[in-house]
């Protein structure tokens, strides 16, 4: 039993919570760009929260269900329609065999998630079903979806669907500037660079994907004349190439790199990076490591409380 891809959308891949443990072999973590939305979609659909789901980008796809399925849509609102009727988001609902579910453009963010109760019947490679497009493995044939693809679904077990509490998503969403902590090469930058990063608005450029988001705005200049020896890159690191225009390195990032890292997006705000769109304005605010860890702890707590 399967879901047939009639139109793939702009960039649709299978993602779960990623593939940690292989960075020393040059293998990126991959996984959902907005892991909170993925986890919520799975919990709504009655799945384990790390079950693989569809991640759609900017423009969603069109899918024909060859089987009855319980699904949940989360992330950006995207004008999803089932036979002309608005398809509900952020709740579990049943799609009957033969239905065609059509997604439009993302309206409130960059990505939406479609979780299917039972999950997709796809191979788990190195502990994850996530698509690694650069490595050409994982997901469905190691690539983004194409028209005509068949996504095999698993028998949905006796998964218990969940219901979100009123206002739960708003409390999780986060607002204001994206929070960052100082990065590995913080010594390479003077107070002016941090002042700039903390106060200026940046625009997300069109050079934007799961590997990195290139920003445009006030240049950040390193005071260090020498070149950095290639070192490891943490998820969400903000690296500064010669032109001073920062780049947020993201889930499909290379595991090592040779540009100085001024800062790093905090773990609790990574999901917000996954919803940033090209040409959108973004601001940053520096916090301490302990504030960042506290934010992550609070987020974890909230995630336990958002369902009825």
Which of residues 101 and 265 has its CB atom nearest to other proteins in the complex? Answer: 265
17 binds other proteins (CB under 8 A): no
CB of 124 to other proteins, least distance (A): 11
Which of residues 59 and 303 has its CB atom nearest to other proteins in the complex? Answer: 303
289 binds other proteins (CB under 8 A): yes
CB of 264 to other proteins, least distance (A): 3
Kindly determine how many residues on this chain lie close enough to bind other proteins according to the rule CB under 8 A: 49
Q: Angle at the Cα of 172 (from 217 to 283), degrees rounded to 5?
A: 10
Sorted by sequence, the CB contacts under 8 Å of residue 299 that are 6+ apart come out as 36, 172, 268
Which of residues 16 and 132 has its CB atom nearest to other proteins in the complex? Answer: 132
CA distance 67 to 98: 7
278 binds other proteins (CB under 8 A): no
77 binds other proteins (CB under 8 A): no
CA distance 185 to 203: 23
Per-residue DSSP letter, 21: T
Question: Residue 260, Cβ neighbours under 10 Å: how many?
Answer: 24
Which residue of 6, 82, 125, 303 would you call a contact of other proteins, by CB under 8 A? 125
| C-alpha closest to that of 52 among 116, 144, 4 | 116
Half-sphere exposure at residue 25, Cβ-oriented, CA atoms within 13 angstroms: 8
Residue 137 phi, psi (nearest 5): -145, 170
225 binds other proteins (CB under 8 A): no
CB of 73 to other proteins, least distance (A): 28
Give the pair of three-digit tokens for residue 264: 């790093």
Contact pattern for other proteins over residues 20 through 59, marking x by CB under 8 A: xxxxxxxxxx------------------------------
Which of residues 254 and 280 has its CB atom nearest to other proteins in the complex? Answer: 254
Which of residues 63 and 137 has its CB atom nearest to other proteins in the complex? Answer: 137
CA distance 12 to 141: 13
296 binds other proteins (CB under 8 A): yes
8 binds other proteins (CB under 8 A): no
Which residue of 192, 230, 242, 279 would you call a contact of other proteins, by CB under 8 A? 230
Give the pair of three-digit tokens for residue 213: 């988001």
276 binds other proteins (CB under 8 A): no
Question: Pairing between strand 178-182 and 284-286?
Answer: parallel
| C-alpha closest to that of 234 among 215, 207, 208, 262 | 262
Question: Residue 281, Cβ neighbours under 10 Å: how many?
Answer: 11
Chain contacts with other proteins (rule: CB under 8 A)? 20-29, 125-126, 132, 134-138, 142, 181-184, 186, 226, 229-237, 254-257, 261, 264-267, 289, 292-293, 296-297, 300
């Amino acid at each position: 039993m399967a879901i047939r891809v009639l139109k793939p959308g702009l960039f649709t891949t299978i993602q779960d919570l990623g593939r940690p443990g292989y960075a020393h072999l040059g293998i990126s973590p991959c996984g959902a760009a907005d892991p909170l939305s993925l986890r919520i979609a799975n919990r709504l659909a009655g799945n384990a929260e790390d079950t693989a789901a569809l991640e759609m980008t900017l423009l969603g796809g069109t899918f024909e269900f060859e089987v009855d399925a319980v699904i949940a849509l989360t992330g950006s609102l995207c004008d999803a329609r089932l036979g002309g009727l608005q398809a509900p988001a952020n709740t579990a609902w049943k799609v009957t065999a033969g239905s065609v579910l059509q997604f439009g453009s993302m309206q409130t963010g960059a990505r939406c998630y479609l979780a299917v109760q039972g999950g997709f019947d796809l191979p788990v490679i190195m502990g994850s079903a996530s698509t690694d497009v650069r490595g050409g493995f994982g997901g469905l044939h190691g690539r983004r979806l194409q028209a005509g693809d068949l996504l095999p679904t698993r028998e949905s077990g006796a998964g218990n669907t969940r219901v979100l509490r009123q206002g739960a998503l708003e409390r999780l969403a986060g607002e204001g500037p994206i929070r960052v902590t100082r990065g590995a090469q913080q010594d390479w930058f003077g107070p002016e660079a941090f002042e700039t990063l903390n106060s200026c608005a940046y625009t997300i450029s069109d050079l934007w994907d799961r590997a990195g988001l290139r920003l445009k705005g006030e240049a950040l200049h390193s005071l260090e004349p020498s070149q950095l020896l290639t070192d490891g890159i943490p998820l969400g690191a903000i690296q500064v190439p010669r032109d001073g225009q920062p780049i947020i390195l993201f889930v499909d990032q290379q595991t090592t790199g040779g540009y100085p890292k001024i800062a790093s997006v905090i773990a609790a705000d990574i999901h917000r990076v996954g919803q940033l769109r090209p040409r959108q304005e973004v601001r940053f605010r520096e916090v301490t490591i302990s504030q960042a860890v506290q934010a992550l702890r609070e987020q974890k707590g909230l995630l336990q409380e958002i369902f009825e």
